[in-house]
């Protein structure tokens, strides 16, 4: 896993001996590594002071020692042999003024059974924010829950306690927003100050591993949210970067992020036109990591492998995917597959243009680069779903978005959703209703892709722009007036919605076409839309009626694998059964309803 060091050697020095103070080590990254059956050469980053002129020794072979000019950062390769015995293997650092040990250890590898599984269209994902979901450890609780931008006290223990609730919903994978150690103001996790540290408000690495293990015991996978594009402004690196080119720019002199992601697919755009997108600082304040710096790239790759190996993760959600060079994603995903072949990635390309989003899906080359990122969030369809189910666009516009599926390597691996933590919740949109949200869920659980639910949507939570869309889940804290984790704490409308989601989860698990079938569009009008999901041996027909009136429809069945004479019944029960005749299905669809038809 060696990376090209050209462009770095010019500044890193083996400075002369003779410093007055003895070396001091304050941090080693990675702090440890799991036993590798074939061995591995790691690139350690040691942070401290008075490291200039150091010689490095260890029980393992060391090489390529490079030290920053001010003596605060030291890089060295450490060759860990195949099947090394777990234990402590400190790195000895010696200068003319003294010595210090950099602690490092090898730990037992986790058993692969039930871990490192990856996610697929067989799954249903649940997105939650640890700080806003539930508090299980009173020591993490705060008194600032009335302040929208403050820590509220949710933690790993709270998630663990409510895993059975998540399981009951029919969820098979959870995605948590980042758990890196953040600054005091960054409850959301996207301002990392330590990429190897666990946020103290949530718990410890051991508690997180307990969460992963208990989720796996219930058949729930875990997807970690990672951020390779930037750090938080309070990261110590900002004042003292490990290399002069660790960041794109400095706090005083940097480009502001322009959000011009369209330039990345523009064959006519110059490198200069793309610079602010690839090198700009988010919101003009989040320091932009430079993945073209070989040391920085190596650090980020090892960090991902460390989190997977130490915790048993099944997948990764990668933040701000377009703002990082695609060549880096190629190298990064390549190392993930090399070490954990089943672990896969879903990338965030926050844009409504299928042409732009599809450009980043891997397993094919775009402009000579395969990102290796197999799954993406389907933002284009997300926008269309919200508009259609609130009455803003006709079904034909929804169909037009799905018509762009040919741009993707595999549209069935897109993650589909209506809400997440960066946008107002569906129930806060004009024209939204609980019945409308039921229909949204029915659509998400039956159309192509991997459906995702944002925590609280299953009870119809409201929320406007960030941070209002990140409200605490009711019942997640002792003393909450209502506990929506339990049936008794929900309103009749909320209970009806939860029951609907639970039922959809069972239906999707039972009907293979809804998970693995091809999608065939059958009809698109103003208020009605119909499609089939087909496998070689089975098919399901889904009919949407958004209208406030019942509708008599004749749905052509070409390509649906439904033969004349077959009788189909709505598994949800509200629409009447119908028999296919002359290549079509004549149905009377109830008002404001989505039916799931299968053969009787």
Instruction: Specify the CATH number of the domain 24-107.
Output: 2.60.40.10
pLDDT digits (tens, 9 = 90+) for 377-433: 999 999 999 999 999 999 999 999 999 999 999 999 999 999 999 999 999 999 999
pLDDT at residue 311 in the model: 98
Q: Locate CATH 3.20.20.80 in the chain.
A: 125-236+314-486
| Bridge partners of residue 223, in order along the sequence | 175, 315
> Of 140, 143, 162, nearest to 153 (Cα)?
140
> Residue 128: pLDDT above 70?
yes
Give the distance between the most distant pair of CA atoms in the chain. 93
> Residue 17: pLDDT above 70?
no
> Residue 10: pLDDT above 80?
no
pLDDT digits (tens, 9 = 90+) for 363-382: 888 888 999 999 999 999 99
Q: Look at 137-146, 323-332, 432-441 and tell me which has the smallest mean pLDDT.
A: 137-146
**Is residue 381 a contact partner of residue 415, using CB atoms and an 8 Å limit?**
no
pLDDT confidence tier of residue 20, bands split at 50, 70 and 90: low
**Is residue 290 a contact partner of residue 278, using CB atoms and an 8 Å limit?**
no
Torsion, Cα 429 430 435 439, to 10 degrees, reads -60
**Is residue 424 a contact partner of residue 465, using CB atoms and an 8 Å limit?**
yes
User: pLDDT over 90 for what percent of the chain?
Assistant: 93
Written as six digits, the tokens of 12 are 């890193």
| Bridge partners of residue 579, in order along the sequence | 567
Helices (H), 241-339: 271-279, 294-311, 326-339
pLDDT digits (tens, 9 = 90+) for 282-330: 999 999 999 999 999 999 999 999 999 999 999 999 999 999 999 999 9
CA–CA distance, 400 with 405 (Å, rounded to integer): 10
H or E stretch covering 520: strand 518-524
**Is residue 343 a contact partner of residue 308, using CB atoms and an 8 Å limit?**
yes
| 19: DSSP letter | -
> Of 535, 585, 546, 443, nearest to 577 (Cα)?
585
pLDDT at residue 142 in the model: 72
In CATH, which of 3.30.1540.20, 1.10.1060.10, 3.40.50.2000, 2.60.40.1180 is domain 515-599?
2.60.40.1180
Average pLDDT over residues 445-472: 97
How does the average pLDDT of the chain come out, rounded? 95
Topology of the domain covering 125-236+314-486: TIM Barrel (3.20.20)
pLDDT digits (tens, 9 = 90+) for 151-191: 999 999 999 999 999 999 999 999 999 999 998 889 999 99
Average pLDDT over residues 269-273: 95
Supply the pTM of this predicted model: 0.95
Place of tokens 């891997």: 362
CA quadruple 557, 558, 562, 566: dihedral positive or negative? Answer: positive
Burial of 320 (0-12, 13-18, 19+ CB in 10 A): buried
Helix or strand or coil: residue 401?
helix
Helix or strand or coil: residue 177?
coil
> Residue 3: pLDDT above 70?
no
3-state SS string for 478-516: CCCCCCCCCHHHCCHHHHHHHHHHHHHHHHHHHCCHHHH
SS3 content of the chain, % helix, strand, coil (to 5): 25, 25, 45
Written as six digits, the tokens of 108 are 């037992």
Average pLDDT over residues 446-472: 97
Written as six digits, the tokens of 58 are 């260890």
């Amino acid at each position: 896993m060696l990376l090209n060091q050209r462009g770095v050697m010019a500044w890193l020095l083996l400075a002369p001996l003779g410093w007055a103070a003895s070396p001091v080590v304050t941090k080693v990254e990675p702090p440890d590594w799991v036993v590798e059956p074939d061995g591995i050469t790691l690139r350690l980053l040691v942070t401290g002071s008075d490291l200039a002129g150091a010689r490095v020794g260890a029980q393992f072979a060391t090489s390529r020692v490079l030290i920053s000019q001010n003596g605060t950062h030291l890089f060295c390769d450490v060759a860990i042999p195949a099947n090394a015995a777990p234990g402590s293997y400190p790195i000895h650092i010696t200068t003319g003024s003294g010595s210090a040990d950099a602690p490092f250890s090898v730990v037992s590898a986790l058993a692969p059974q039930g871990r490192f599984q990856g996610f697929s269209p067989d799954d249903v994902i649940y997105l939650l924010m640890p700080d806003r979901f539930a508090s299980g450890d009173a020591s993490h609780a705060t008194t600032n829950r009335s302040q929208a931008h403050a820590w509220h006290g949710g933690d790993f223990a709270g998630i663990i306690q409510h895993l059975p609730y998540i399981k009951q919903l029919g969820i098979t994978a959870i995605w948590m927003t980042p758990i890196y150690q953040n600054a005091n103001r960054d409850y959301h996790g996207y301002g990392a100050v330590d990429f190897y540290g666990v946020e103290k408000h949530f718990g410890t690495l051991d508690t997180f591993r307990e969460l992963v293990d208990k989720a796996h015991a219930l058949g729930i996978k875990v997807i970690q949210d990672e951020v390779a594009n930037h750090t938080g402004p309070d990261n110590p690196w900002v004042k003292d970067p490990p290399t002069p080119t660790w960041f794109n720019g400095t706090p005083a002199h940097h480009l502001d992020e322009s959000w011009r992601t369209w330039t990345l697919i523009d064959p006519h755009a110059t490198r200069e036109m793309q610079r602010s997108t690839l090198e700009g600082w988010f919101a003009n304040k989040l320091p932009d990591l430079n993945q073209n710096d070989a040391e920085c790239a190596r650090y980020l790759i090892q960090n991902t492998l460390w989190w997977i190996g130490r915790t048993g993760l099944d997948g990764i959600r990668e933040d701000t995917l377009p703002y990082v060079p695609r060549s880096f994603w190629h190298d990064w995903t390549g190392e993930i597959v090399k070490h954990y072949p089943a672990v896969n990635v879903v990338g965030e390309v926050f844009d409504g243009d299928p042409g732009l989003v599809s450009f980043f899906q891997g397993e094919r080359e775009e402009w000579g680069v395969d990102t290796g990122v197999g799954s993406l969030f389907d933002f284009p369809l997300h926008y269309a779903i919200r508009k259609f189910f609130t009455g803003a666009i006709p079904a034909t516009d929804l169909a037009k978005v799905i018509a762009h599926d040919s741009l993707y390597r595999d549209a069935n691996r897109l993650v589909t959703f209506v809400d997440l933590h960066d946008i107002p919740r569906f129930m806060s949109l004009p024209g939204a209703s609980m019945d409308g949200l039921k229909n949204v869920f029915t659509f998400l659980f039956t159309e192509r892709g991997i459906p995702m639910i944002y925590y609280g949507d299953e009870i119809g939570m409201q929320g406007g722009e960030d941070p209002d869309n990140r409200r605490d889940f009711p019942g997640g804290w002792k003393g909450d007036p209502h506990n929506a984790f339990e049936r008794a704490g929900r309103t009749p409308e909320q209970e009806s919605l939860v029951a609907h989601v639970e039922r959809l989860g069972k239906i999707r698990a039972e009907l293979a076409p809804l998970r693995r079938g091809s999608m065939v569009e059958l009809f698109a009008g103003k208020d009605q839309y119909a499609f089939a999901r087909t496998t070689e041996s089975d098919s399901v027909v889904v009919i949407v009626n958004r209208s406030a009136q019942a509708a008599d429809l004749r749905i052509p069945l070409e390509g649906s694998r439904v033969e004349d004479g077959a009788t189909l019944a709505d598994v949800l029960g509200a629409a009447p059964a119908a028999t296919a005749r002359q290549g079509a299905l004549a149905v009377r669809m109830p008002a404001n309803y989505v039916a799931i038809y299968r053969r009787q």
